[in-house]
A and B are shown apart, each in its own frame.
Chain A
Amino acid sequence: MKPLVELAQVIRTKNAGPYELTLDIIFKSRRIYEQVKKENSLNAALIARVYGVPEPDILKAIYFDPACAFKATMKRPLPCGDPGERDIYGAQQHAPLLNLLLPWEDEHESDS
């Protein structure tokens, strides 16, 4: 296992419109990305679990080759700006991803 923070160069969230939150994980190299993608280590079920939401609330979970990136888009628990909502831009909702460990074998470690 390897911490996601050691494999990624960008871990971010942002609104995609007022009703959706989208998270981007951009990996440090294409080889790291290809390995994560091959093992499908990041997926909708995992994102649902770490955010404590039902899996159908994860609307998209996509690997995007041109940017060596994984993207997931979820339904916001509260729409942007509703009473009780806490992050208008959705820019600070990435914390649950910072402790993730991904399956990783030793022979890939030289890539990071």
Chain B
Amino acid sequence: MKPLVLLSPTAILGYGFPAASLDRGLSFHPDVIAVDAGSSDPGPYYLGAGQSFVPRRSVKRDLVFLLRAARRLRIPVIIGSAGGSGARPHLEWCREIILEVAREESLSFRMAVVPADVPRELLLEELSNGRVEPLGPAPQLTAEAVNESTYLAAQMGIEPLIEALEGGAEVVLAGRCYDPAVFAALPVRQGYPAGLSLHLGKILECAAIAAVPGSGSDCMIGILEQGRFLVEPAGEGRRATEASVAAHTLYEKSDPYLLPGPGGSIDLQEAVFTQVTDRRVAVEGSRWRPASPYTVKVEGARQIGYRVVSLAGARDPAFIEQLDAVLQGVEERTRDNFSHEEGSYRLLFHVYGRDGVMGPQEPHPAAGHEVGIVMEAIADSQEFAEAVLGFARSTMLHFGFPGRLTTAGNLAFPYSPSDFKVGKAYVFSVHHLLALPDPRQIFPVSFEEVHP
């Protein structure tokens, strides 16, 4: 079987890569450029609001390089989890950027677009049929959570991507997608085993993060051969080592021996990592364990209100010493002030320099000579959130406490305006497994001919 070369340019589309590394990666004569564009790590806002967490200009920059190179070499580009969260608006956002690049760079290609949206009625029906399970410690799904979610996206496996390649796609733009699938689709279609292909994909999806020194914005090469795969960073000055590649297998996963994904798990009980050159590691023994029924992860987020935040510092020792009493006092005054108002709100404080990062789990909750205070209000209207936060902020600024010397104000504000209107606030509402009779059922592939 002919070795297959995969190029992973960057950890997330838009995170960038040195042009020299891409050139060096292209010198390996890749059969495909594949890139993961998404993650749920940046939190529920981006899925809920239909927004990308990577700036448009950064995504376009990467696409200019990748589409140019791929058309020159006549190899496919596969993009998964378009726009970050991979629901309909994210996919459309990324598609428009691709069309713009094609126009500006005079490129023509056949593009497959694969949305990953789950029809709301289907999820409700399958929920009532008992075919939806929580993933890990997520709560049981309710019809209310499904109905309140702005978008519902499922993580596709390799099957819809293979369908796109078989339809002659030169660019595959997929909605929410299992990160390793964009890398594994071509190898599996050409007969390579799913276990090795997906394990290679798992390592390549973060590009050079699996190298030393690690980087989320540099290229990585993967080569599939009979019975094993090889990984090597494209960037000069980086190496893949047994330790760096094995360690990456742990990354962001709950169990390193069994990595579950759409339709089954990558089983690494027998995986062996071997240093073959100074910069290159070989891996063998990774296996695929198909699951029945075939399940996909569904993600959704729902709006809980509107958020306003304010940042301030405090430098007065007496204020810092009595901070908990002050915060409690501010909370009580705020509650009293708005007790006759309709609507609900939450007022939250984070005290940096004390326990801002870990809260009650902080092992050393002692404040230093100064603290940073983040004040946050979430209310059911933007107007109410602004009022609550404005009141709490001005109350804290002038709050009296025993031994107060600094009667002109307790807080140092770095900015005017002091309050930042964040807009809609979201929480994750769906993180569940949905059983599908056919892995391609909710991932319809459509083709378009793109011309400048």
Contact = CB atoms under 8 A, between A and B. Distances in A.
A26 B243 contact: yes
Interface residues of B, number: 47
B410 interface: no
Contacts of A59: 136-137, 254
A83 B271 contact: no
B336 interface: no
A24 B252 CA distance: 9
Contacts of A15: 40-41, 252
Interface residues on A, range: 35 or more
Given A51-B361, A67-B249, A86-B357, A22 B44 contact: no
B357 A88 contact: no
A20 B137 contact: yes
B427 A82 contact: yes
B45 A68 contact: no
Contacts of A82: 427-428
Contacts of B252: 14-16, 22
Contacts of A93: 357-358, 361
A19 B256 contact: no
Contacts of B357: 86-87, 92-93, 95
Contact of A88 (B41, B268, B304): B41
Contacts of B363: 50, 95-96, 99
Contacts of A16: 136, 252-254
Interface in A26-83: 26, 50-52, 59-60, 62, 64, 66-69, 71, 73, 75-77, 79-83
A71 B256 contact: yes
Interface in B328-361: 346, 348, 350, 356-361
Interface string B422-434: 0001111001000
A43 B273 CA distance: 25
B142 to A, nearest CB: 15
A66 B271 contact: yes
A17 B416 CA distance: 36
Interface string A1-22: 0000000001000111111101
Contacts of B43: 18, 80-81, 88
Contacts of A67: 243, 246-247, 249-250, 256
A66 B350 contact: no
Interface string B409-422: 00000000000000
Nearest to B247: A67
Nearest to A52: B361
A100 to B, nearest CB: 10
A82 B360 CA distance: 16
B257 interface: yes
A75 B137 contact: yes
Nearest to B428: A18
B137 A66 contact: no
A89 interface: yes
A80 B251 CA distance: 17
Contacts of B136: 16-17, 19-20, 59, 75
Interface in B11-59: 40-45
B247 A24 contact: yes
A20 B363 CA distance: 20
Q: Which 4 A-B pairs have the closest CB atoms?
A: A81-B43, A67-B246, A73-B254, A66-B246
